[in-house]
Structure 1
Amino acid sequence: MQCALDNSGASGAGNPSTTMSSHILRVTADERHLKEFWTVPFSPARSETLSGFYASHLQQLAGGPFDNLSHQDKVDYLLLQSYLWRGTRREVLDAHRNNDAAPLLPFAPALVRICEMRQACHFEALEPRQIASVFDKATAGVTRTREQIETGKIQSMVPMAAMTKEAAYRALKNLKALQACLKEMHAFFHGYHPTFDWWVQAPYAALDKALDLLATTIATKLVGMQSPGGDEADEIVGEPIGRRGLLVELEAEMIPYAPEELLTIAREKYAWCEKEMQRAANELGYGSDWKAALRHVQNIYVDPGEQPRLVRSLVEGGIAYVKRHDLVTVPKVAEQSWRMFMMSPARQKANPFFLGGPSIIVSYPTGDMAHNDKMMSMRSNGPHLSKATAFHEMIPGHHLQMAAAESANPHRKLFETPFYVEGWAMYWELVFWERGDFFTSPEDRIGTLFWRMHRCARILFSLGFHLGELTPQQCVDLLVDKVGHQRATAEGEVRRSLNGDYGPLYQAGYYLGAMQLWALRSEVLARGRLSEKEFHDAVLEANNMPIELLRALLLDEPLTRNYESHWRFYNDE
């Protein structure tokens, strides 16, 4: 049981002579423990603790050796340093967002303090009669805030600059997190403390109901949702981080490009995809109308009951292909241990495409689904669209990658980045295309080009949104117009991308990471450092890291304590 409330942060500076991998494992464990202890995500004490934790380890790194470290340890040093800096800057950004949301939650500090006292086992500060009083006062404050929002009076009490949908969305998320913490605290005492229920049961019930009503009011009046939980009819809202925020994230990922440059790259890659789409469409008799050709391909799907067999054959085909051409080592256990599950109808509404990684999750409609939902799922998972992604999800893609990551440099899991994780899986789409003997039919080429266009659009809409150049609805329109998505699937894609579950660069990481790996492969092979198979195995063995550091590792590039990214990986020729 965690029974200490200490804002100092780090659990100890540690011995500077320990290896970097053990230092990273300690940071990983300590950060996890701190985040599990400080359960209120918008708590100032939590932010102070984490900021102090990051600062203490940065100070330790700065005072430790570097030049006499091994090349592997130098890479780990830079990975950890970048991670700690990013954590520090994210705490600052989150604090600003939480401050913008705070006027909608004026009653929250007293409730947060009670939650944190319970977490710290400070029972002397948790006298039931006092808790009941705090809850009663908070309920009055919650009700007052809800009435101010419903009558519009809140506008005169909060600066107009702070009264944004983004601030209201953050307030709504913080409110739900606070409710979860209060529920846990109530469950801790309920039935176990002789006088707790007598004093607290009624005030807690009233407070929880008031918080529910406030959540509904914030969601409907300020955010644009239909209900606190949201559904597919809700307005899509996210939290753009701005150009400055993107530059911070790009620096942490060691991408020495401005956001505007990356948008230009995405447009150039999209133009290439469109030309190839038109070429394949012409082969199918649709002239240059690639959208008509895409609709033709989407309307090719298997009969009910046959989808699992299709997916199995596609997965096995990808495995056989890389083994036949000796492109990467496929451990026997990884080849034999992948499993298959079916995706629920509810999940298909938000994400009609099949998923993978540890297992393959097959998307196909059930008999009781609505007709439109059935057609959306079948059109999204036909044999030609799925051929481009089955190996992406399994072998040589994510399944192989995850199997390798469990045994090769596992301490680098802390530095997980979409440029490595998603970049690796999409990189194989580029490899299979370039070899010319995998996507042989025009239908297959249209299927994989659809996904490549999709990844171009992900760069365009995610960076455009965070730069403030695109609204969520414009992001949806872009996917419909530029990629050929059905509007429902485009809305689901944008909603997942902007709701805070993904980092701001996650969607851009697919194609940009793939381009980085492609450029690195070309450089490594041109220098004769490794064979193609050796290169692929070395990437898997290195585990998670920004691709520029992977380049420095594989090419034995010189590294300094204050290393700055400089690798311009994109060649538009």
Structure 2
Amino acid sequence: MISPAAQPDTLNSQDHRASVGCTLRVEQDEGWTKISMRSCADAVSHPPGGPDRPSFSETLESMQDRIVRISEDLREIENFYNIEGSPTRYARLSEFFKSELTALSAAPFESYSQDEKVDYILLKNFLRRSQRNLALDRAREAEFAPFVEPFAEPIREWCEIRQRQQADEVFDPQTLAGSLSTTSKAVAHCIAHVTKHSDEYSQGTGSRAARRISELRKHINETCNFYSGYHPSFDYWVAAPQATLNTALVGLEKQVRDAIIGGGDISTIIGEPIGRDGLLVELEAEMIPYSPKELLQIAEHEYTWCEREMKAAAAQLGYADWRDALEHVKNLYEPPATHTSFVRSLVTEGASYVKKHDLVTVPRVAEEAITITRIPPAKQRVSPFFLGGPRLQIAYPRAEMEHADKLMTLRGNNRHFSRATAFHEMIPGHRLQLYVGDRSRPYRARLFSTPFFVEGWALYWEMVFWDRGDFFTTPEDKIGSLFWRMHRCIRITFSLGFHLGSTSAEECVELLVERVGHERSTAEGEVRRSLNGSYPPLYQAGYMLGALQLAQLRREAVEAGDRRLPEKEFHDRILKANVMPLEMLRALLLEKELHEDFKPIWRFYGDV
């Protein structure tokens, strides 16, 4: 067991910087109180041992081992330097990405196999994307700096001292208590600033700021709790100012939510747009050589096809307006008593279909060991439909829900919507995808996850089943399938529009209600999940665009060329390749020539 050295009446901590003690500095600047500890505010230099270096010869490290090592090192760094917004964290991550890029450039690219070359390009792409996102994160930090930084800096410094636990950074509880007390006054100034200037900040900025305030409050409380009861004089000095600061931070977060975000109403949808620059970084990293404007045009083109097919299916049911036919289908929902067994039968149907037609390998355990759970009502606010993967999660109303909410959930998960969802989530969709991915090159999923591969694969199978002509045969089933495809078109429209700043969250909901025919509750859930920052910004666009990429790749690999692949082998090789941007998958399957300075060029949809 290793324990930090102890000194009477002092708190010990360490850092990789040469600093002695922590002196408190209070400055008055245009009415603001700024507190910092001079010796702890220096920029981070090199950690022990200098810049990142593998502990073994570069020439002996395979690309797979390199990716695994970088994945684990990055996890360790992010877990240790865990204070978001900290200059120390930014500097350490920046140094890590730079050093790994430098080391990667010395790797013998030309001697690699095709798989290794793909891994090299994927890793280089990941590291460069991470560098660019660091810069964008710092720019977004600056948006709320006026009412966060005045108190954030001293909090971060005390917390980082607690993390480092180095003997030459010594301070006593009395000094900490004085700093916390002064920091509380800075928080009060920030509350006044938010009250006066709230209309100068966007909801997205407010949302990020509120999250940061909450994180800082938890960090400083964790730091104080670490010492509480262990140092003889700690509670005597620190307990009261800690409680005062905690109350002040809670008050600031509430003021930000009330004045900038717009209150604590749980129905309010808060999004965090990343802007055009952020979208361009993401598109480059996803290897999509189309502009946001072109992607919006692709979405509209696909929507037009869907609407035409929807009108044809509606006419088969005797409806002149496809929306009326859709309402008819929504009311064909399974009653509560038989819903679970009905869903399980749909899962079995999808697996049986691909096995019958020899479309993809389905391992016995993948099909047999499927667990079914239910999504709690509170979570259904952001996940109003099925979720899949390791297990099948069903969205279905509970007894205590309001009657209108029950009906909306039942209608949103009707028989025919569910028929097109069950195999998407399970087999041959996400369940099979994750099952194989956990057993074949799992190291790629650690760093290279992309919705274009993950969600594109599941939606691609909806297209395959549709094109075969013998799965969606009734008008009701066709409407159920087309609903989802229209939904994925409008996901591109509203998510890109939101991040470009041209579409509000409320307008996103209206797009799903008016152009797709969503129940309002499910539309709100979709938008809330899409825009609240819990998913990557291109996640919703990845469904349709990824499916279109896979469909074009199938035409190139299975239906054309001299080296055509059997369909089952094509699908099996995709699963075994595991997660990556789809242009890289194309290069791997079609054995395209690769260069160290690879740039995406695949116009999978042609010219828009």
Q: TM-score range by the shorter chain?
A: over 0.9
Report how far residue 372 of structure 1 moved: 1.4
CA contact 1:423–1:517 (8 Å) conserved in 2: yes
Given that residues 11 and 30 in structure 1 are in contact (C-alpha distance below 8 angstroms), is that contact kept between their aligned partners in structure 2?
no
> In 2, distance between residues paired with 1:487 and 1:196?
54
Establish whether residue 81 from structure 1 lines up as the match of residue 124 from structure 2: yes
Q: How many angstroms does 1:421 deviate by? A: 0.5
Post-superposition offset of 1:571: 4.7
Separation (CA, whole Å) in 2 of partners of 1:465 and 1:513: 20
Shift in Å, 1:121: 2.2
Identity %, equivalent residues: 49
Q: 1:170 is matched with which residue?
A: 208
* Cα distance in 1, alignment partners of residues 368 and 224 from structure 2: 47
Q: Is the 8 A contact 2:498 2:505 kept in 1?
A: yes
Deviations 1:273-318 (A, max 9, x none): 011111111111112x111111111111111221110110000111
SS at match of 1:314: helix
Cα deviation 1:431-456 (Å, max 9, x = unaligned): 11111111111111111111111110
Letter matched to residue 12 of structure 1: R
Match of 2:165 among 103, 107, 121: 121
Task: Please state how far the C-alpha of 1:133 moved relative to its aligned partner.
Answer: 1.4
> Which residue of 2 is the match for residue 231 of structure 1?
266
Partner residue of 1:369? 401
Determine the structure 2 residue equivalent to 1:55.
98
Report what 2:589 is aligned to: 554
Residue 15 of structure 1 aligns with an amino acid whose one-letter code is S
- The aligned counterpart of 2:36 is none
Is 1:35–2:35 an aligned residue pair? no
Equivalent position of 2:28 in the other structure: none
1:15 aligns with 2:47: no
Q: CA deviation at 1:147?
A: 2.4
CA distance in 2, matches of 1:153, 1:430: 50
Deviation at residue 122 of structure 1 after TM alignment: 3.7
Q: Which moved more, 1:51-60 or 1:492-501?
A: 492-501
Distance in 1 (CA, whole Å) between partners of 2:213 and 2:136 is 19
* Equivalent AA in structure 2 for residue 190 of structure 1: S
Is 2:347 the counterpart of 1:315?
yes
The separation in 2 between residues aligned to 1:319 and 1:48, in whole angstroms, is 49
- Secondary structure at 1:345 match in 2: coil
1:95 paired to 2:128: no
Task: Specify whether residues 453 and 572 from structure 1 end up closer, same or farther in structure 2 by C-alpha distance, changes over 3 A only.
Answer: farther
Q: Does 1:180 find its partner at 2:209?
A: no
Which sections of structure 1, spanning at least 5 residues, go unmatched? none
- Secondary structure at 1:438 match in 2: coil
Q: 1:154 deviation in Å?
A: 7.3
1:112 to 156, 168, 173: 156
Q: CA deviation at 1:472?
A: 1.6
Matched, 1:338 2:346: no
1:296 counterpart = 2:296: no
Which has the higher mean CA deviation after the structures are superposed, 182-191 or 563-572? 182-191
Q: Give the CA deviation at 1:368.
A: 1.6
Q: Which residue in the other structure is 2:243 paired with?
A: 205
Describe how 1:402-441 pairs up with structure 2 within 5 A. 402-413=434-445, 414-441=447-474
Letter in 2 for 1:347: K
Which residue of 2 is the match for residue 247 of structure 1? 280
| Distance change in 2, residues 1:480/1:153 (3 Å) | closer
Task: Give the letter aligned to residue 481 of structure 2.
Answer: T
> Which residue is 1:131 aligned to?
176
Letter in 2 for 1:315: V
Q: CA deviation at 1:242?
A: 2.3
Mapped contact 2:460–2:547 kept (Cα < 8 A): yes
**Aligned-residue offset at 1:348:** 2.1
- What is the Cα deviation at residue 572 of structure 1? 8.2
Pick aligned residue for 1:68 from 87, 111, 132: 111
- Counterpart residue identity of residue 418, structure 1: P
Counterparts of 1:294 and 1:153, CA distance in 2: 47
The equivalent residue for 1:545 is 580
Structure 1 residue 11, shift from structure 2 partner: 4.0
2:386 to 347, 354, 357: 354
Q: Aligned residue for 2:23? A: none
Secondary structure in structure 1 of the residue aligned to 2:95: helix
Give the paired residue count.
560
Match of 2:417 among 385, 401, 405: 385
Question: How many angstroms apart in 2 are the aligned matches of 1:122 and 1:175?
Answer: 27
Verify the 8 A CA contact 1:311 1:390 in the aligned structure 2.
Answer: yes
1:325 corresponds in structure 2 to 357
Contact kept? 1:349, 1:373, Cα under 8 Å: no
> Structure 2-normalised TM-score?
0.89
* TM-fit CA distance, 1:165: 3.2
Higher mean C-alpha displacement, 81-90 vs 486-495: 486-495
RMSD: 1.8
For the Cα contact (< 8 Å) 2:198–2:259, is it kept in 1? Answer: no
Contact residue 452 and residue 547 of structure 2 kept, 8 A: yes
In 1, the alpha carbon distance for the partners of 2:380 and 2:286 equals: 32
Residue 256 of structure 2 is aligned to residue 218 of structure 1: yes
Taking structure 1 as the reference length, what is the TM-score of the superposition?
Answer: 0.94
Distance 1:277 1:208 in 2: 56
Which stretch of structure 1 is more off in the superposition, 239-248 or 523-532? 239-248
- What is the identity, as a one-letter code, of the residue corresponding to 1:46? R
Per-residue CA deviations over 1:254-281 (Å, capped at 9, x if unaligned) read 1111111111000000011011111111
CA contact (8 A) 1:104 1:168 kept: no
Q: Is the 8 A contact 1:307 1:362 kept in 2?
A: no
Deviation at 1:466, TM superposition (A): 1.5
- Tell me, yes or no, if structure 1 residue 489 matches structure 2 residue 531: no
Larger Rg: 2
CA contact (8 A) 1:343 1:362 kept: yes
Q: Per-residue displacement from partner, 1:183-223 (whole Å, max 9, x unpaired)?
A: 32233223333322222222111111111111111111112
In the other structure, the counterpart of 1:194 is: 232
Query: In the aligned structure 2, how far is the partner of 1:121 from the partner of 1:306?
Result: 59
Paired residues of 2:380 and 2:525 also in contact (CA < 8 A): no
Give yes or no for contact 2:384–2:526 (8 Å, CA) kept in 1.
no
Given candidates 306, 310, 321, the residue that maps to 1:273 is 306
What per-residue deviation string (whole Å, max 9, x for no partner) do you get for residues 312-356 of structure 1? 000011111111111101111111111111121222233221211
